[in-house]
Structure 1
């Protein structure tokens, strides 16, 4: 009998076998238009209490969550406290409905307004629906928690997973995530990459599988095999064993099959993450985000405070490259002492280098601290500026970095203008690092924090890949390094494409290093260029992904065991 297959977007190259378990909550009736029996004032008190309870729960979970989840949960808590939301609830109650109905309608209206106005908020559409569900659940006196405790490892199946859900899961028992919605930049996908969990997103039909159904989740093939036969199970077990052997082998430097080096680096958000990155085989740091020092502070940290934190990171990588990104404030990372305040569209406003140029003392203090940390350690410090748009900006920041005594200066390629004149930009600086998350956002005019346009936020889109190829070609012509430090670098197949486009280093969450290292080692540079060419020739992101997979499968080294 032919094994049923469900198709989705795989995260990583992992493969697992296990039983399905659906993420579920206590059932509840949807709010109705039934009239309130207690009056608008009493209903408003109920709504306030429910929203406060949800906010408190989110903040409590944020305290114990990983950094990425914590940021999202804190942003969601702020949303439940937004006076505009409560105004919407109060307006709804004027029609005589219950608090449940008014809250649900206010969230729905708020989400629609945000999508229409294009405002910049750190949450996705699925998260908005989750907040609404949680508030209504409190009003109805039911639990907001997922009911997931089978007592054994399982494949977690859901429509999508909200950050507040994943924050309380026992991830040691989760073999894989499989969602029917979401894409490669969804919270589920990001969490899976960070924690090294096998995942498949956008797998339509998976929610119809009964609990206990045996499945193979194959991220590399982008497939869920339902009730697999003996042959499929044997193949899966053989590939799992092979992956375990590869993972346990000593982590050498990143390279293609013909020996072409592709340096594999780690993305870090705070000094304490350095030790784990070293243990996972990082050859250095390709992106150290310095915002951790500045968040939740009314004043900029002192030079001494900054120096100590930078030194901690540099000391963990003696003799190795550590790329530090200058403060990227603005948009979703507002800072009281630096951000410009209210802007119509902060994603296109005074963020990154633009904000630093408006407050040059903050920039000078940061460069002074970095230079001091560099002088006290043996790491190879590289410093780059975010949100560079012009050659003039490139000259300015490169000169500032060099004058501070730091020999290697670079710029991030996040704005299409810089990619299109990469030859002129690289003539003025020492290296370029492509931030694919923002580059995709600005290329596709799709705010990467808005769920309503999440489908467009895909670095596989040929328009994005073409911009990457422009930067890669400019780097090769000038003999200057070109890295990628966005989410794209953690995709094992896309990593091969990027190498084929001229990228010389890849930086990612440390848990993704092993899969990417193995994937690169399968292909020669000629293979990588052919795979990249196939992706570039496609018209849509999904087509580019499939074309790359088909091209990879035609190479002897690239064939996935059948």
Structure 2
């Protein structure tokens, strides 16, 4: 008996637990991505001095080829897939690690070993920085694998193309692995690492396939093993009873099919309105969202349009980009977020300082402290886009921490004829939501960062994934406080973090007093359909039960007990 067969026999029937990301149930065999190419070099191998320049050029050509392929894939992708591929392509051309590799080659290291050493160096730097920079570790390792494969003349590593519907299991998945997946063949995702806001989670939501991350024991499940992934409960069952698994999968499919018939607008079964919007990052994504029942755009992430731009786009160039989104929903609400740059989304033209902890540094609205013109030009461009399209854009600032910041932003926005609001991502802002609402017309809660900062846990850390689970009662208590402040003065409070993409949690958020939910376009129907099946009284009962829970798992179970 092989070791894989022995392991499968021992694991048969085992239920592995992780953090649920995308609801649904699938039962299929496991596939796993290819591994890093073998370096196949003695540690003391040296390139003769006369051949080092040629070796450096060979490396540069390989790195450029990898970056070009990533850019090409980004150009043919849409939505978050395009975003994460473009970001990875940018990292592939980063002068930091490229320079480190070239220095190693100049000192005599073969290109393959130079790449391996340089990437290891930057993995260590990013890991020590923590925060959102830790997310880039997976991207760096993916780039290493691709460049080394190119140098060795091997096929690019990545996800194999399955011949039948399969479940992709991995330690972690890089953006380039997940961005091109066919949801007809890869029907669910499960990873050992990652968190509820990781690249894997974001792409799974876009594809609309069940996903569970931070699964303990998943590495022991061999390729070919039949497993059942339950993206609602956050479990992976190894070699389950086939008849039972197929029955549960059929039940889940019936629920999904029922959701597909929902056409909006967002409201509970007893008619309480809860608007359901889409999150987008460019005109193409907005046009795609128009094919869903989304009632408008609750979050337009403007910074993602400029990740590969060396110089600041002109006001006119920006206005053309913003107008594309406004034109997709000309008679609907469109909320444009000003640049949320910094940390894991550095913009070359923003002049980011080197920081020990970028997640707690100069990011979002704080960029305007030393570069006020950047914000003013963006607001001017948004106003120009509204003028050209005959629309009235809503605009909000990210990373607001104080009422004074909210007031300053609101004054700037109103001076351009825009409707001002702010993001609630910092616990301090949630605690003072009533005072912030004195200055702005609406609030939008970003649960991804609010969870990270509330729980003092890097949202990309697999070890801390249970802490950054959006079901954490402490995070939901801050959401409740913010929503209550909005209700008291008759101003709208929405949620645009990934929590809004969870149909069950969406009902709880409505019960807390949230007036709108904005999620990935693929999640709109599921969220809206679930809301339409429950009453506001049920939503409020579930919210009360969740706030009384002691853990994220207990909160989720309490909501399931009330809402089904």
Same fold (TM over 0.5): yes
1:72-151 superposed matches below 5 A: 72-79=87-94, 82=97, 85-86=100-101, 89=104, 103-118=115-130, 121=133, 123-138=135-150, 142-146=154-158, 148-151=160-163
Counterparts in 2 of 1:310-321, with a 5 A limit?
310-321=322-333
What does residue 258 of structure 1 align with? 270
Q: Which moved more, 1:58-67 or 1:364-373?
A: 364-373
Conserved? CA contact 1:330–1:339, under 8 Å: no
1:462 corresponds to which of 454, 470, 473: 473
Q: In structure 2, how many angstroms separate the alpha carbons of the residues matched to 1:449 and 1:216?
A: 25
Match of 2:84 in 1: 69
Residue 16 (str. 1) matches residue 26 (str. 2)? yes
Decide whether aligned partners of structure 1 residues 78 and 534 sit closer, same or farther in structure 2, where only a CA change above 3 A counts. Answer: farther
Q: Provide structure 2 residue ranges, at least 5 long, that are not aligned to the other structure.
A: 1-11, 75-80
Q: CA RMSD in A?
A: 3.4
Mapping of residues 375-394 of structure 1, within 5 Å: 375-377=387-389, 379-394=391-406
CA shift digits 1:166-220 (9 cap, x unpaired): 3454454211222233221222111111222222222334444444444333212
Aligned to 2:166: 154
Q: Are the equivalent residues in 1 in contact too, given 2:97–2:119 (CA < 8 A)?
A: no
In the TM superposition, what is the alpha-carbon distance from 1:281 to its structure 2 partner? 1.0
1:499-546, CA deviations, whole angstroms, 9 ceiling, x for partnerless residues? Answer: 23221111111011122123333433333334334433445xxx31x2
Checking the alignment, whether the CA contact within 8 Å between 1:122 and 1:449 is kept in structure 2 is yes
CA distance in 2, matches of 1:238, 1:430: 43
**Contact residue 546 and residue 555 of structure 2 kept, 8 A:** yes
Whole-Å separation in 2 of the counterparts to 1:234 and 1:293: 44
SS in 1 for 2:383: helix
Residue correspondence of structure 1 range 496-535 to structure 2 within 5 A: 496-535=507-546
Query: What are structure 1's unaligned runs of at least 5 residues?
Result: none
Give how far 1:484 is off: 1.2
For 1:294 and 1:37, locate their aligned partners in 2 and report how far apart those are by CA, in whole Å: 41
Pairing partner for 2:425 from 409, 414, 425: 414
Quick one: structure 1 residues 35 and 333, their matched pair in 2 at CA, closer, same or farther if it must change by over 3 Å?
closer
Q: Residues 534-553 of structure 1 correspond to what in structure 2 (within 5 A)?
A: 534-539=545-550, 543-544=551-552, 546-553=553-560
Kindly state the Cα deviation for residue 322 of structure 1 after the two structures are TM-superposed.
0.9
Matches of residues 119-518 of structure 1 in structure 2 within 5 Å?
121=133, 123-138=135-150, 142-146=154-158, 148-225=160-237, 226-247=239-260, 249-292=261-304, 294-297=306-309, 299-356=311-368, 358-377=370-389, 379-406=391-418, 408-448=419-459, 456-518=467-529
Number of residues paired by the alignment? 547
TM-score by length of 1: 0.85
Deviations 1:432-485 (A, max 9, x none): 111222223333444556778666544333332222222112112121111111
Q: Paired residue for 2:66, among 57, 65, 86?
A: 57
Summarize the Cα distance change of 1:18–1:478 in structure 2 as closer, same or farther, 3 Å threshold: same
Normalising by structure 2, we get a TM-score of 0.85
Indicate if the aligned counterparts of 1:318 and 1:377 stay in contact, CA closer than 8 A: yes
CA distance in 1: counterparts of 2:96 and 2:352, whole angstroms: 23
Q: Deviation of residue 283 (structure 1)?
A: 0.7
Decide whether aligned partners of structure 1 residues 419 and 37 sit closer, same or farther in structure 2, where only a CA change above 3 A counts.
closer
Partners in 1 of 2:98 and 2:249 — Cα distance? 52
